[in-house]
Amino acid sequence: MSRSERLLDLIQILRRHHRPVSGRTLAGEMGVSIRTLYRDIATLQGQGAPIEGEAGLGYLLKPGFMLPPLMFTDEEIEAIVLGSRWVAKQPDKRLAAAATDALSKIAAVLPDDLREDLDATTLLVGPRSEGVEAIDLGVVRQAIRNERKLGFLYRDAGGAASERMVWPFALGFFDKVRVMVAWCETRQDFRHFRADRMSHLTATDIRYPRRRQAMLKEWKARLDKPDPNAPKEPAG
C-alpha cells in the first residue's frame, strides 16, 4: 500500500469513529506501528484535516470534513494520466489543450510522492488518430452544453449531401472518427453524424425544446432495446 492510500484509509477510519479513539487502536486497524500512525496524523493535520486530539488522549475527526480531492490511489493516478494523454492526442485541439493543462494543474498540487507516480506511469497512448474534421468540435461541444440547435451540411457514405438542423446532445470519441448524436429535424428521429462528413457548421442561439439529459436517456433506452428491423448504425 502506498503512503497516499494509507493516509486515505486513515481518514476513512477516523470518519467511522464518533468519539476520540486512541492512537494504538488506530494503528491496530491500520496495521502499522504507533510511530507511523503519529507521523501520518501529523501529515494529515499539516494538510488541513481537522483532526483533534493528541497522543494519550485519542483523536477525533471533526464532522463535515470533505475528503481532499487530490488524494489518489495508484490506479486512480493511472486512470487520470491515461485518460488525459488520450484526450491530448484527439483532433479537438481545444479539448486536447485542456487535457494537458488539467494534468499540469493536478501535478502542481499533488504531494511529492504522488507527483512522482504521475510522472513515472508506464501506461502509454498510441499515435494520434489520422482522422481529420473540417468542423470545429469545440462548437459542437458548446452547443451540447448550452442545448442549442446546430445547422450543417452532411454527406452520407455514398457522397449524397443534405442540409440538416439538429438538437445535439452527445459526442462520441472513437479511435478514427468522432460521432455526434442528435435529434434530427429532417428525419424526426435520433441520428448519428460522423464529424468528418460534416461541413459548413452553423451555431445558432435557438434553444431546442427538450433537455439533453432526457434525450440522452431515451436514446440509451433505444440502444438497449434495438429494433431488429432497423440498421445497426442509423444513417444520417
pLDDT for 181 beyond 90: yes
The arithmetic mean of pLDDT across residues 222-232, rounded, is 66
The arithmetic mean of pLDDT across residues 188-206, rounded, is 95
Identify the structural domains of the chain with CATH numbers, from first to last.
3-61 (1.10.10.10), 74-120 (no CATH), 137-224 (2.30.30)
Work out the widest C-alpha separation in the chain, in whole angstroms: 80
Closest residue by Cα to residue 171 from 161, 182, 185, 162: 182
Higher pLDDT, 111 or 15: 15
CB 149 within 8 A of CB 143: yes
pLDDT tens per residue across span 101-152: 888 877 776 767 777 777 777 777 877 666 677 899 999 999 999 999 999 9
Residue 28's pLDDT band, with cuts at 50, 70 and 90, is: very high
φ and ψ of 170, to 5 deg: -160, 155
- CA gap 136, 94 in Å, rounded: 9
Say which residues have a Cβ less than 8 Å from residue 3's Cβ, sequence separation at least 6.
Answer: 113
Predicted local distance difference test score (pLDDT) of residue 112? 72
List the Cα angle 97/201/89 in 5-degree steps. Answer: 25
- CA gap 110, 3 in Å, rounded: 13
Sign of the alpha-carbon torsion through 72, 76, 77, 83: negative
pLDDT for 35 beyond 70: yes
Residue 71's pLDDT band, with cuts at 50, 70 and 90, is: low
Predicted local distance difference test score (pLDDT) of residue 5? 76
Predicted local distance difference test score (pLDDT) of residue 217? 94
pLDDT for 232 beyond 60: no
Alpha helices (H) in the chain, listed in sequence order: 3-16, 23-30, 34-46, 74-88, 93-109, 112-120, 137-146, 212-224
The arithmetic mean of pLDDT across residues 24-31, rounded, is 91
Compute the mean pLDDT over every residue in the chain, rounded to the nearest whole number.
85
